[in-house]
Structure 1
């Protein structure tokens, strides 16, 4: 847990230093650095391709993703499968369905799970982190107590391994796609909460805050109109990284059988789970969804890491 919290606190600290060390806008300078970063460009291109694929994929699919049109050509009990050919670019799965069509349609389900889970974690985490940071910044006995209660709860969540926590939540709520979204979102709540709280505390010592206090501006107004908005940048950066984690964890839950109960609905994690039984006879059924998950997560990771480096004042010229 210490390594995870150290990274979160470091990002909050770097962002606060970046905003006070230069008169230029933080995001303007970060964007300038990103434009010259090969890592950021590659990550952005991968993400753009994935988003476009998720949006238009179902219309590009040459066949129905659920239709078992070529079932009489596949004999899974005998290990006889149909590989890539002119009519089926990725071959057929164990039920005679077009694998390429299922791959395209599954991209939308994978993106939906990742985005919704990250938004859930971001929203709840930002509420808890903002409450804790505002309470501590405003000061007073009540503020310190509120911060203590919230952060001890967050520390308890951080102490549990993320996948174990997600599996526990999914097991309690039952098997469904909504369960996967909630489970992955719950895992991300403490990350966003601690990051926003740390950023708000770091911003509390900034020059503009001291100037506002000297002018007699109320603390509550300073916190909610100045400190909180200026503390959101590291949280947005972390959201990019969490999208990659959300996609991987959602695929892991689907692989464990905690995802969508309807196996006919394509999703990369479900496709990966269904292919494990036939890996010896048709290994490519596992390779296609696995590559989709890996490349997509890599794209979000590259862009997120590039944004993190763009916020680091030590790397500024």
Structure 2
């Protein structure tokens, strides 16, 4: 008993000190990152753009002045003569080719665009994080068999990364059929190898840290080392990538809708689908394309600015 108790208490005490050190350093890192992020003009602009977009997507449909699918002013649009109704008091963005209110469709379409982007990003994040986390843990602490498993998984992700993302998304969408759910799945699958590679690389870097070597030398279980030390300290680049992937997901989802692989319901407003419908009338009514295009560009820019600001804020090279 005298031989086991001191050794056990020493391990528990050192593990406690290691966890406390990592927690305090982690909190310090996040506090410093938050301070740098608040001082970043690009980050603040990106956050404001995202906040406006989210508010627009959440509450916008409730304030839409008209039914976005109703062809109330169809008789006022003369497509054969190339005459379209532009912005006016009753219709702030004018009418589309079917006499529907463009402003109402823009507001409701923001929610669909946000939904597609968020769901697509979550699909790639969750599945990619699971694959990357398991692969990174196997490569770090799994021995020879773990490294073989990691090599196999990474070769599969390399194959996926070798394919152009839009081409892969189009192929998946074409196989699954035309629907909004298909767009989410296709764009999400494209994001999986990115998150897997990123988390696995971050875990490999953390696996060579001194605290991991110390924990292993003390005989602490490998699962505990991965879950309590390596994985939490590897998540910051994944969080940044999630923000950047939202911008990519919105653009790729709009591209799939533009190619006709989105929702088959043409009356359902979505910014990518609105671009598809407006391309035939660009010469006579260019603003039909401008409104959804500007919405997509500004939203993607907001997520990109915030993501880049977060990346700079979390960069350990910039810590003072």
**Structure 2 equivalent of residue 13 of structure 1:** none
1:212 match: 215
1:108 aligns with 2:108: no
Superposition RMSD on alpha carbons, in Å?
A: 1.3
Note the C-alpha offset of 1:31. Answer: 0.6
What TM-score, normalized by structure 2, do the two folds share?
0.91
Structure 1 position 27, deviation (Å): 1.7
Q: Does structure 1 retain, via aligned residues, the 8 Å contact 2:32–2:319?
A: no
Secondary structure (helix, strand or coil) at the match of 2:50 reads helix
Residue ranges of structure 2 left out of the alignment (5+ in a row)? 1-21
SS of residue in 2 equivalent to 1:243: helix
Quote the Cα distance in structure 2 between the aligned partners of 1:268 and 1:176. 15
Deviation at 1:118, TM superposition (A): 0.2
In the alignment, the residues of structure 1 paired with residue 77 and residue 192 of structure 2 have an alpha-carbon distance, to the nearest angstrom, of 45
Residue 293 of structure 1, aligned match among 291, 296, 299: 296
Count of residue pairs brought into register by the alignment: 298
Higher relative contact order (CA 8 A, sep 6+): 1
Separation (CA, whole Å) in 1 of partners of 2:178 and 2:30: 41
Distance in 2, matches of 1:312 and 1:304, equals 12
With 180-189 and 201-210 compared, the bigger mean Cα shift is at: 201-210
Match of 1:190 in 2: 193
Distance 1:176 1:96 in 2: 25
1:77-96 → structure 2 map (5 Å cutoff): 77-96=80-99
Q: Distance in 2 between matches of 1:58 and 1:307?
A: 31
Find the partner of 1:121 among 105, 120, 124.
Answer: 124
User: Offset of 1:207 from its aligned partner?
Assistant: 2.2
Instruction: Tell me if 1:150 matches 2:153.
Output: yes
SS, match of residue 80 in structure 2: helix
Native 8 Å contact 2:236 2:314 kept in 1: no
Q: Which 4+ residue blocks in structure 1 deviate beyond 4 angstroms?
A: none
Shift of 1:250: 0.2
Which protein shows a greater Rg? Answer: 2
CA distance, structure 2, for counterparts of residue 271 and residue 202 of structure 1:
45
